[in-house]
Amino acid sequence: MNLKFIKTDLVLGIKQWTRSPGTVFWTILFPILLILIFGAIFSSGTDVEFDLVVQDLDESTTSNEFVGILDNISGINVINLKAEKDVTKYMHDEGEKVALVIPEGFESIIFEYMQSQHDPNSTFDMDDLPFNLKIIVDPTDQTQPSILRSIIISVIQQFNINITGGQNLFGLSEEKSVGEDFEYIDFFVPGMIGFTIMTSMIYGSIERNTKYRKNGILRKLLTMPITRSEWILSKMLFMLFLSFISTFVIIIVGIIAWGLNIHMSVFFFILVICTSFMFSGLGMIIGRFVKEEETADMAGGAITFPMMFLSGTFFPLDQMPVFLQTIARGLPLFYVNEGFRNAMIYSDFSQTVYYTGFVVAFTLVFFIIGVFVTKWKED
């Protein structure tokens, strides 16, 4: 083994690395960003508390006792909803993930059962059991409904044991807050579309600009009979073409493989166009300050990874600390994801317009700045 060669080559590699300030900067910054983001999300240092919306339609002493048991469980924050309120609308408006509805007759079914145990002439029909409470869950979140469902079932089982000795007097039925036709994959795909467009546009713009600058292609474009705006527009249209290709590939595969169930509207196409131009503009801005082709990927990752994890692409924002939720609402991908979900899943016109408006605003800012800072001449 030639140890001298190994030592010499190692020293040479380190020197080359230290001579590239951009490479050193992004190599160190990238893992710092990752540990800070994941540490803040999963190690917030505070007790986890889940909201549970409860609508008590029985409004009896026994139902109040049942709700009190849930409210006294550590980690559950019971939100009492008046009987006249629409539960699913409240969940959507307030961003709540789980609701429990206690139907009328909760207390009377207990009295009828107790009476049947002492009165042989009772008309109480045991075949009508169990008397079901209803849990309504938002399928965008897989964690919170699972935890709260288990807790509610445990409380119901304890009620059954106390009253009947174990017979299922009470049960639990389940509904989805946006209809039975939707599954978790339907909510995951809109975020995946936004994330895919973001990464391809940012990486594509950064790589193209740094490579063209390094190879002197940008300077050579000065000798061609085209304007800078014409060149940028042609590149943006090509990137937009790629955005539609990747988007429809995701949707088609999702439909074939997973039975994806989504709605298509004009806002869907507006969001794809704006998202493509917005992140292309952001990529042009970053590419202007990344001088070396070798650091382009690191620079792109330093931008895309925080947005990917903080913008509700893979899990809801309410699972993160409040300060991270505030940061997320300042990131363009958050509005892209919410815009796609409201356009493709909820079919909520007002919310779709609201989030699309933010996406359009971000698009104008990033694209205009990106075009302005993209130069053919070297400084």
Q: What is the pLDDT of residues 6-41, one digit of tens each?
A: 677 677 777 776 776 656 665 666 566 656 655 555
Share of the chain above pLDDT 90, in %: 17
Q: Where are the alpha helices (DSSP H) in the chain?
A: 3-18, 21-42, 61-71, 87-94, 106-118, 144-164, 184-214, 217-220, 228-258, 266-289, 296-310, 322-328, 332-341, 349-373
Residue 271 has pLDDT above 60, yes or no: yes
Give the pLDDT score at 17: 66
Give the pLDDT score at 188: 79
Q: Which residue has the higher pLDDT, 211 or 356?
A: 356
Residue 166 has pLDDT above 90, yes or no: no
Give the pLDDT score at 37: 58
Give the pLDDT score at 21: 63
Of the candidates 133, 156, 136, the one whose C-alpha atom is nearest the C-alpha of residue 144 is 136
Question: What are 224-250's pLDDT values in tens digits?
Answer: 676 767 777 777 888 889 889 989 998
Element (H, E) at 222: none
Whole-angstrom distance, CA of residue 277 vs CA of residue 201: 8
Question: What are 58-105's pLDDT values in tens digits?
Answer: 989 888 988 998 988 888 889 999 888 888 888 878 878 899 999 998
Share of the chain above pLDDT 70, in %: 75
| Choice among 32-46, 112-126, 328-342 with the minimum mean pLDDT | 32-46
Q: Please name every residue paired with 77 in a beta bridge, in sequence order, or none if there are none.
A: 51
Q: Within 10 Å of residue 76's Cβ, how many Cβ atoms?
A: 19
Average pLDDT (178-193) is 73
Of the candidates 157, 160, 152, 140, the one whose C-alpha atom is nearest the C-alpha of residue 96 is 140
Domains of the chain, first to last: 50-176 (3.40.1710.10), 184-373 (no CATH)
Residue 268 has pLDDT above 80, yes or no: yes
Q: Cβ-count burial of 162 within 10 angstroms (0-12 exposed, 13-18 middle, 19+ buried)?
A: exposed
Residue 316 has pLDDT above 90, yes or no: no
Give the pLDDT score at 317: 72
Residue 179 has pLDDT above 60, yes or no: no
Give the pLDDT score at 168: 80
Give the pLDDT score at 49: 77
Of the candidates 191, 137, 150, 176, the one whose C-alpha atom is nearest the C-alpha of residue 315 is 191
Q: Please name every residue paired with 176 in a beta bridge, in sequence order, or none if there are none.
A: 137
Contact assessment for residue 131 and residue 171, using Cβ atoms and an 8 Å cutoff: yes
Name the band, by pLDDT with cuts 50, 70 and 90, for residue 347.
confident
Distances (CA, A) of 8 to 13, 18, 321: 9, 15, 48
Give the pLDDT score at 365: 92
Q: Which residue has the higher pLDDT, 125 or 267?
A: 267
Average pLDDT over the chain reads 79
Residue 120 has pLDDT above 70, yes or no: no
Whole-angstrom distance, CA of residue 235 vs CA of residue 156: 61
User: What residue type is 10 in one-letter code?
Assistant: L
Whole-angstrom distance, CA of residue 311 vs CA of residue 268: 19
User: What residue type is 2 in one-letter code?
Assistant: N
CA atoms within 13 A on the CB side of 146: 5
Token pair of 318 as six digits: 């309410």
Give the pLDDT score at 371: 79
Residue 47 has pLDDT above 80, yes or no: no
Whole-angstrom distance, CA of residue 195 vs CA of residue 275: 10
Average pLDDT (296-301) is 72
Give the pLDDT score at 217: 63
What does the buried/exposed string (b/e) look like for 320-351 if buried means 16 or more CB atoms within 10 Å of the residue's CB?
beeebbebbeebbbbbbbbbbbbbbbbebeeb
Residue 199 has pLDDT above 70, yes or no: yes
